[in-house]
Amino acid sequence: QVQLVESGGGLVQAGGSLRLSCAASGMIFKIYPMGWYRQAPGKQRELVAAITSGGQPDYADSVKGRFTMSRDNAKNTMYLQMNNLKPEDTAVYYCNKNTGDWSWGQGTQVTVSS
């Protein structure tokens, strides 16, 4: 059974940084392209970053240049380094396959104050 556990969120001032982690289990993690998603209040969940099985990332325009996604296949873990955070980055962040096919974890709350 696929299990995804996100962590690392918190409250930070605008311009600050956070590093999110996603621990994955129940699948052969290394073969799947993965994604970081976020859902702000009243909005649909959106994909903000994706990474191939080989570690090549891609980003939504809204976070390009500020967020860095990486993965450690040996640890079944992926990360999202978020720098220069803005209030509009406030959301619950989730990890999943890049197509969002698996069951969602509980997410981790990121709140950016202005």
Structure tokens, 94 = 């989730």
Q: What DSSP character marks residue 73?
A: G
Residue 31 — pLDDT band, cuts 50, 70, 90? Answer: very high
pLDDT digits (tens, 9 = 90+) for 9-24: 999 999 999 999 999 9
6 vs 65: CA distance, rounded Å: 22
The CA angle 76-80-85, to the nearest 5 degrees, is: 165
Contact (Cβ atoms closer than 8 angstroms) between residue 34 and residue 47: no
Q: Is 79 helix (H, G, I), strand (E, B) or coil?
A: strand
pLDDT tens for each residue of 62-81: 999 999 999 999 999 999 99
Question: Within 13 A of 64's CA, how many CA atoms are on the CB side?
Answer: 6
